[in-house]
Structure formats: C-alpha cells, structure tokens
Structure 1
Amino acid sequence: MKSFRTADHRRLAYEDSGGSGPAVLCLAGLTRNSREFSDLAAHLAPRYRVIRLDSRGRGRSEHALDPIAEYTIPVEAGDARALLDHLGLARVAMIGTSRGGILAMALACGAPERVSGIVLNDVGAVVEGQGLLRILSGLGRAPAAASFAEAAAELRAANERAFPDVSLADWERFARRIYDDAEGRPALAYDPELRSAVAAGLDAAGPTVSLWPLFEGLHGVPVLVIRGANSDILLPATVAEMARARPDIETLELAGRGHAPFLDEPEALAAIDGFLARHAG
C-alpha cells in the first residue's frame, strides 16, 4: 500500500494495481476502505489501472484532527482530487459505493474534465433517511464479536432480509474487509469519531438528504447507477426520476442485494465492463 500527503498534511493510503490501461479510481462507502473493492480490482486489473483510496480516517489513512471539519464531502472529494494530482492523472473513470459515489459526483461537479464516467453503487440524487438512521445506529461501535466467524454470523443475521442468498463463508470474507484484525478479533477499520461528523451533518440536513444539485451538476458526465433491489438508501422512484432528468444514464437493479451490492455479482461486473469499455480513458 502506498501513501501521499494532502495539503493539510494528512497521510492518506491507497492501492495502485493493474497495468498501463486507462485509470479507474474506486471510492469506498462511509466506514469502508480499499479492501471493499478487492474482487472488482482483481477483475479489472488485466485491462485497467485500478486505484483504491482509503479516505481519511478509514483503513490505513490518518485520522482527522477535527472530525466534524474534516469528515465532510468537500474535504474528502478534495482528497480524491489530490490523489489524482499526486499520481499525475488528468482524467479517470470513477466507481463509488454509497458515500464514495457522492464523493465522485462532488469531484465531477468541481472538475468535470477530470472524470470520464461514474459508476454509482447504490447511491443517487436522494439518500433515504430510513437507511441513514439505520447506518447511524451502529456507527462508531466496536464489533462485539470475538472472532471473524462470529462476526460473519452476526452480519448474516443482520442482513439476511436484504441479502438473502449470501453464504456464511462470503460474510466472513466481507467481515475481513470491513474490519481490521486485532490478533484474531475484529476491530473497527475507521475512526469512531466519524459518527460525530455524520450526526452533525444529519442534524443540519434532516434524515433524508437531497443530492440533486450534485447529480444535476454532472454536466453530461456518463453515469451508470447500480441499485440493490432491497436497498433502503436508494429507492426505485429516485432512480426513475434520475433517468427522467438524464435519459442517457444507464441503470441496473440487482435482485437479492440491499445496501450496497458487493460488485462481484456477474450482472454488476458485466455492466461495469461495458460502461468502462465505452467511457474509460
């Protein structure tokens, strides 16, 4: 894993793999990190240069000194842009899961010439309050599980309605990506102070958050929206309204998935392959 320094001197970590093909920047969900995209990166690496950022306070990146000021969309989108500058990349395709998709939209609004296309994984022009409150209810809490096998069982129990066909073995693989390994015990892989920043943002915006200004500001940037059919963050009505506003966007709904699809599903990989073939580079 490599790292760079931001303008405010935070050390941020990133993975840079694949060949000399077009660059694809992957941005993870709120509490997740570059490991979230491990399978997708392996799939794309033969054809693309795949860059995966640990946003500040996540994974191997340095934590904020002022969480409420630093764990914000403008700051984190600026970090992603700073990584592109650090790597000397003038233009990339972007794949963003949940908050990562919001960061991708924010970056593209500020610098559309830097973005050749965006894949939005289970995030769109409206973020539903019910889903946000569900996420906030567990945000910042250390895992109770004493082992990764226990964590897998807890994840399956908590998500069996939204993800009914995911095996216990796959949940354990997922657990090892979202948690750090503290001598065999799962541990938070993000700064628990992220909770205070998110809670402050929700107090200001209300439980349901409109991102229409970001979506409408993409100025023709190609977009693929992937939605989990059981998602409580991105609703079908929102995707339909986005498609009415931008008839050129591509959409995909994945059965048996909630928030957010893993992006290892065959349908998701096929859609991403086609989108990148048309818009990466």
Structure 2
Amino acid sequence: MPIAELNHQGIFFEDSGGTGPALILGHGFLMDSRMFDAQAEALAPEFRVIRWDARGFGRTRWDGQPFTLYDSAADCIALLDHLGIQRAAVGGLSQGGYCALRVALRSPERVRGIVLISTSGGASEEPFRTAARQVRDLWGTPGATENIVQSYAEVIIGDPRFHSPWLDRWRQTPKAHFAAAMNNLIDRDDIAPRLGEIRCPAIVFHGLDDTALPATEGQALFDALPGRSRFVPIPGAAHAPTLTHPESIHAPLVEFLRSLPA
C-alpha cells in the first residue's frame, strides 16, 4: 500500500501519476479516498489525481491523538511535498472541503484552484453539535451503531444502490476513530469571515437533495469566494454526489481544471 510517513501519521494515498496538472482530493466524514474512484478514472491521464485518507479513516495509520482540520491541512501540504508537487488544485467533499479551505488559507501559494463539494465555511451550530455528541457517545453500543449506520447511509449517500460496500466499512470503524473524527467536525472553527481571503479560482458543487448540509450553504460559500467561477447544483443528489452522480461532476470539473492558470 502507498503510505507516506508524514506528521507522525502513516498517510495512505493513491496517485494516478503522469505529468498533467495535479488535483488532490480529500474525502468526507466516515468515507475514504475510494469515494473518488470515478473521478480518478475520468480525469486521468490528462490530470494527475491524488486521493488520500484523513486521520481516523480508511487505510491511514493514525497515531490516536486528537486532531483538527488544520492538522489535516498540514497533512495535505506534506503529501504534496512528499510527491514533489509545488502547486495543485485542492479539493474535497464535506470534511475534505473544510480541509481544502484551510489549505487555501494557510498555504495560498500552493493552491492553483479549489474544488468544493457539499461543504461550507461555517462552524457547526449548536443543534448539530448536540446531536453529533449523542451519536459519538452511542457509537459502538450494540444496536445503536447499526441504527446510526443505516441513518448515515440515507443522509450521506442517499441512493441505496450505492450503500455497499460503505456500510460494512462503517460498521468496522473503532469507537476511538469515530469519536476523534466527530470531535474534529464538532469543534471546527468558523472561517466564513475569512473566505474573502481565498482569491484563487473556485468551483462549488452541491446536491439539491442534501439534508446533511443544505444547498443554500453551498451557494453561500460560492457567493463569498472572490475567485468563484461556477456553482453547480446537482438535482437528485444527496451529500456524496461523487458516488451517485459522477456524470454531473466530470464535465464542469474538467472545464474548470483546464481553465486554471499554470
């Protein structure tokens, strides 16, 4: 397995390789880099597509310590360094989008453009935090975990045809991993007032049937970015359109990536 030892973590990644412009993608909560399989297949070899697993999920070897989205942003930049990539388009879905925004704030010189899917710049509001803490504390409890898995599959993925194999992966997530990743979301800071600092080109995708994060959040994010180029609403998509509606993503994404300055 391709593992990079970065920031005291063993970061799992996949790299399509080649000499094309680089796009690095971060996944959403409970997911892993495999949620971008369709994008990697569609974009390579014109583009070099790098996907990676965040701390606590997938095949990354996490050190067990608490982490924040700024730690994830540091992991992303360290992976680019590891691969010898000076500048890249940086993107992500939900949690991965929160990370991408922080990469753009922390290291703007490394970001050619930003690809944001089902995400926002705001912090969690208290009703979400309260519910998330309850879910966090119930994870691993007999019976409760299965209810959570089924509920999250509906909210995150939506279309049951795409639930497998994700449900089995989620059931195997240890409580410590789930709790640390959930705390990462609950405690994220509000960067909405700083979005005007992100001046690179930006494209925003959002499912119109997203109940985890309404499409109005995606529109607000797009409106706040000075370098905005296109907002792409995706009819019928829930929170993970890269899985369920890849055909709605590929053409706008390719057009966007081709438009980026060198």
TM tier relative to shorter chain: 0.7 to 0.9
Residues 103, 19 of structure 1: alpha-carbon distance in 2 compared, 3 angstrom cutoff: same
CA displacement, residues 79-112 of structure 1 (integer Å, 9 cap, x when unaligned): 1111011111100012201010111111111111
Q: Which moved more, 1:245-254 or 1:52-61?
A: 245-254
Q: Is residue 55 of structure 2 the alignment partner of residue 56 of structure 1? A: yes
Query: Offset of 1:157 from its aligned partner?
Result: 9.6
Counterpart CA distance in 1 for 2:133 and 2:71 is: 20
* Residue from 132, 141, 149 that aligns with 2:139: 141
The 8 Å contact of residues 59 and 190 in structure 1, kept in 2 or not, is answered as no
Q: Counterpart of 2:205?
A: 226
Q: Counterpart of 1:262?
A: 242
SS at 2:231 equivalent = strand
The 8 Å contact of residues 17 and 48 in structure 2, kept in 1 or not, is answered as yes
Q: Counterpart of 2:4?
A: 4
Q: Percent identity?
A: 28
The 8 Å contact of residues 57 and 191 in structure 1, kept in 2 or not, is answered as no
Query: Offset of 1:47 from its aligned partner?
Result: 1.0
The 8 Å contact of residues 229 and 256 in structure 1, kept in 2 or not, is answered as yes
CA displacement, residues 44-69 of structure 1 (integer Å, 9 cap, x when unaligned): 11211111111122211112332x2x
- Letter of the 2:257 partner, please give it: L
Q: Counterpart of 1:159?
A: 154
Higher relative contact order (CA 8 A, sep 6+): 1
SS at 1:15 equivalent = strand
Residues 58, 88 of structure 1: alpha-carbon distance in 2 compared, 3 angstrom cutoff: same
Q: Counterpart of 1:193?
A: 177
Q: Counterpart of 2:13?
A: 14
CA displacement, residues 212-240 of structure 1 (integer Å, 9 cap, x when unaligned): 1452331x111111111122343344344
Q: Is residue 255 of structure 2 the alignment partner of residue 271 of structure 1? A: no
* Residue from 159, 162, 167 that aligns with 1:170: 162
* Residue from 109, 114, 127 that aligns with 1:113: 109
Counterpart CA distance in 2 for 1:61 and 1:200 is: 16
Counterpart CA distance in 1 for 2:196 and 2:128 is: 23
SS at 1:109 equivalent = helix
Counterpart CA distance in 2 for 1:113 and 1:161 is: 32
Give the alignment's TM-score, normalised by structure 1: 0.76
Q: Counterpart of 2:37?
A: 38
Residues 196, 27 of structure 1: alpha-carbon distance in 2 compared, 3 angstrom cutoff: closer
Residues 123, 86 of structure 1: alpha-carbon distance in 2 compared, 3 angstrom cutoff: same
Q: Is residue 106 of structure 2 the alignment partner of residue 122 of structure 1? A: no
Q: Counterpart of 1:245?
A: 224
Residues 237, 200 of structure 1: alpha-carbon distance in 2 compared, 3 angstrom cutoff: closer
Q: Structure 1 stretches of 5 or more lacking a match?
A: 146-150, 181-185
Give the alignment's TM-score, normalised by structure 2: 0.81
CA displacement, residues 173-202 of structure 1 (integer Å, 9 cap, x when unaligned): xxx25644xxxxx74356643414634763
SS at 1:46 equivalent = coil
Counterpart CA distance in 2 for 1:214 and 1:30 is: 23
The 8 Å contact of residues 205 and 232 in structure 2, kept in 1 or not, is answered as yes
Counterpart CA distance in 2 for 1:234 and 1:201 is: 13
The 8 Å contact of residues 206 and 232 in structure 2, kept in 1 or not, is answered as yes
SS at 1:262 equivalent = helix
- CA RMSD of the aligned region, Å? 3.2
Counterpart CA distance in 2 for 1:157 and 1:237 is: 21
